[in-house]
Amino acid sequence: MPKHAWVKVSLSVLAVAGVLMVGRLFRPRGGKGTRLKRPARVCYLCGKTEAQLSEPLTQDHVIADCFFPQPRPATLLTLPCCVPCQKEYSMDEEYIRNAFAPISNVSANADALQAWKKTHRSMKRRAALYADFLRRTFPVTVGGIKLPGLKFSQARTEKVMRKIVLGLHYHHTGMIRASQ
**Exposed, middle or buried by CB within 10 Å (0-12, 13-18, 19+), for 119?**
buried
Residue 180: inside a domain, yes or no? no
Residue 41: inside a domain, yes or no? yes
Please tell me the total count of domains within the chain.
1
Residue 101 near residue 116, CB atoms below 8 Å: yes
Residue 167: inside a domain, yes or no? yes
**Degrees to nearest 5, angle at CA 118 with 117 and 123:** 95
List, for residues 34-83, the tens digit of each pLDDT value: 454 555 689 999 999 988 998 999 999 999 988 887 888 889 999 999 99
List, for residues 87-132, the tens digit of each pLDDT value: 999 999 988 888 887 777 667 778 778 878 888 888 888 888 888 8
The domain of 139 spans: 3-173
**pTM > 0.85: yes or no:** no
Residue 142 near residue 9, CB atoms below 8 Å: no
Distance CA 131, CA 123 (A): 9
Residue 63 makes CB contacts below 8 A (sequence gap 6+) with 76, 77, 164, 167
Residue 178: inside a domain, yes or no? no
